[in-house]
Each structure stands twice: as C-alpha cells, then as structure tokens.
Amino acid sequence: MSVKLVPFLLHTTAAAVMTYGYIHLPDVVANMPMANMKGGHFQFLTIQGLCIAWIAMILSICCDLVPSSSECLCYRANSPIPIVLPGILKSAKRACLMSALPLAIVISVVYWTLLLLLPHLILMADPNASEPTSSSTMPEPQRLPLSTDLALHAAPAIALIIDFYLLERKYPKTVSRYGSFVFAAVVGTWYACWVEYCASYNGFFPYPFLTQNPFNARVAIYVGASTFAALAFMALNALHP
C-alpha cells in the first residue's frame, strides 16, 4: 500500500495548524470566562467552520492512506481493505468539502474585512462596557495572537482551496448549483438557530454586528451569508479546470 505523500503532507499539516489554533483559543473573551457562556467557543461560527474543515482534512488523510478502488482491484485477493471503503471515504470527504469550503470562505472574507475596516463589529467587546472598545485600546483577550488568528481564520480556507483545485475534481454542474444552496441553507439555518439560542441565555451574541442589530436584520444577515456561501462555492467550482 502506497501513501500519497504530497497530499498526505498537505492534509496533515493543515490539520495540525487547525488543531494548534483550537488549542490556543483564549479561556477568557471580553473579560468573561468562556466556560460561563452558553455554547462556549462553539457559539462562534469560526469554531464550527474550523471543526468541519478539520474533519474534511482527517477524511482526506484517510483517503491518502487507503488505496484507491482501482488499486484494491489489482490485488483484491490479498487486500484486507474492502473495495468499497475507498469509495465511501472519498464520497464522505467530498460531501464534507462541499460544506467546509464555502463556510471557510465566508468566515475568512467577513472576518478579515471587518477586522481591517471595522474591528468593533467583529471583535467581541466587554458586554459590561457602555460602548464598544476601539481597536487601539482593546483589551488583550479580544485580539488573538497573529499565529492563532491565521490558524483559525486563514488556514482552513487556504488549505481547502488548495485541496480542491489541486487534488479534487470539480463537482457536476447540477450538484454545484443545487447542492451548494442546500448545504448553505442547512448550515446557515443550524447556526442561526444555535446562536440565537445561546444569545437568549448569554444576553448578547458572540459577534457585535449581531448584537447591535434587531432580529429582522439578523435574519437578513443569516440569509445573506448563506447565499454568499452558496454563490462562492458555485464560483469556485466554475473556475475549477
């Protein structure tokens, strides 16, 4: 059994970087222990997207280690690996990639855009403060170290894009067109319900741009982000050679 070395190195490195980012998450955000907040770190879309991207990398590693279906057929009699296993792993990886990739794109685009232009809308302020803290005077727990920031908000999108364009075939047009909206709708609805549930206990949202908007505006944000995710995937798939 031969290991696909270059893909294996890409996937293991990406998984390790994402793990590093998760391990170095702060225990205190906005002067509040995360353990005291409903949902903890998982109320952040970033962390949910990180987990899905990490699972995609782990499935990719499994695909790298398991022979392809054609290789299994070559030595079927002596192979302890069921012939159907490579196909199952590959299908699971591609299904996971279809949700992980657009989600990572949305997270990276929204996060870095707001961080550079309007940091008070993305960096969680002290809920006891009367006004959002400016970026220049923001407490240390609010702004992540650059290495952790990149591991959380850049590495997943970069790794998934490289994996998709260099190691994966493009999705059929019908799957891209309809499947992307289905996945985006499911993920978007799940997160919208989850973050609203957490905020009903915490009294605030993990992102200031949600806290500062009424319910109807938040619904528009959820719908807009989900639509952007679906369109982003369709565009990436269309550009795939």
Statement: residue 134 has pLDDT above 50: no
Strand-pairing partners, residue 32, are 29
Geometric angle at alpha carbon 24, from 164 and 196, rounded to 5° = 75
Q: Residue 220 gets which letter from DSSP?
A: H
- pLDDT at residue 87 in the model: 85
Neighbours of 40 (CB within 10 A): 17
Tell me the H-state helices in 66-154: 69-74, 84-117, 146-153
DSSP H or E run through 33? strand 32-33
34 neighbors 28 (Cβ within 8 angstroms): yes
DSSP H or E run through 35? none
Question: Which residue is associated with the tokens 């019908």?
Answer: 174
Per residue in 18-67, pLDDT (tens digit) is 999 999 999 988 788 998 999 999 999 999 999 999 999 999 999 999 87
Dig out the tokens for 166 from the structure.
């260099």
Q: Residue 140 gets which letter from DSSP?
A: G
- pLDDT at residue 135 in the model: 42
- pLDDT at residue 165 in the model: 96
201 neighbors 38 (Cβ within 8 angstroms): yes
Per residue in 162-216, pLDDT (tens digit) is 999 999 999 999 999 899 999 999 999 999 999 999 999 999 999 999 999 999 9
d(CA 168, CA 180): 16
86 neighbors 160 (Cβ within 8 angstroms): no
